Chain A
Amino acid sequence: GENVEQHPSTLSVQEGDSAVIKCTYSDSASNYFPWYKQELGKGPQLIIDIRSNVGEKKDQRIAVTLNKTAKHFSLHITETQPEDSAVYFCAARSGGSYIPTFGRGTSLIVHP
């Protein structure tokens, strides 16, 4: 099955800085890569996703890049704000399944 590794586990930045979270996956047939944000006491919320036929996707301050050859994808948050503080999860859907596998999460702390 699919295996997703996520780094770092904790990321601390100053407000206004950029933050980058990286994930690797094992199944070269994976073709769908969503990112979720989980705030304290809430369920994960989809913030951006990318499909394997695209190398980069942007939505305002967030962007995701995908390198299929290296089997890794990254979340980029620019001009971070304190409200960006949360746990972020990456996920990958294996081509042989329709169930995404989640990474272990990155706790992002944005200091004012």
Chain B
Amino acid sequence: ETGVTQSPTHLIKTRGQQVTLRCSSQSGHNTVSWYQQALGQGPQFIFQYYREEENGRGNFPPRFSGLQFPNYSSELNVNALELDDSALYLCASSLDGTKGNYGYTFGSGTRLTVV
């Protein structure tokens, strides 16, 4: 059984650029959630995908968008990067996001730095 894999592990981008982060979910999991974790803070929910459909969204602007593919892997896209977007981006997979009573399996995250 493989865990959650995220790529890349680190990334430096310039303000105004666009970035795509990738996530492979744990085998057997059909739900992927993305979180932003600023330094010293808890993870903040961005959005969740369940069976290729967006299943919920947190308080993030539309320039944060995502996709889930038939194999349940996922992408997070951020347009027009701002300095405040610098954070650790975490992907978490789970079984059946519509019920929410299952713990998440997190990846190790992508550290994004916007300069």
Q: Hey, which bits of chain A sit against chain B, CB under 8 A?
A: 6, 31-32, 34, 36, 41-46, 49, 51, 89, 93, 97-105
CA distance A89 to B90 in the complex (A): 14
Q: What are 29 A-B interface contacts by the 8 Å CB criterion?
A: A6-B42, A31-B101, A34-B104, A36-B104, A43-B4, A43-B92, A43-B107, A43-B108, A44-B106, A45-B106, A46-B103, A49-B103, A51-B101, A93-B100, A93-B101, A97-B100, A98-B48, A98-B55, A98-B97, A98-B98, A98-B100, A99-B33, A99-B100, A100-B100, A101-B45, A102-B44, A104-B40, A105-B40, A105-B41
- Is there an interface contact between A44 and B43, defined as CB atoms closer than 8 Å? yes
Q: Which of B42, B104, B108 interacts with A105 by CB under 8 Å?
A: B42
A32-B100, A98-B97 given; A43·B90 CB < 8 A: yes
Interface of B is mostly: loop
**Range for the number of chain B residues in contact with chain A:** 20 to 34
With A42-B108, A97-B100 given, name 8 new contacts (CB 8 A).
A31-B101, A43-B4, A43-B92, A46-B103, A51-B101, A98-B56, A99-B58, A102-B42
Cβ 8 A contact of A89, one of B43, B55, B58, B105: B43
| CA–CA, A36 and B56, complex, Å | 22
Taking CB atoms, residues of chain B closer than 8 Å to A93 are: 100-101
B52 → A minimal CB distance (Å): 17
CB distance from A56 to the nearest CB of B (A): 18
Residues of chain A contacted by B45 (CB below 8 angstroms)? 99, 101
Q: Are B108 and A104 in contact (CB under 8 A)?
A: no
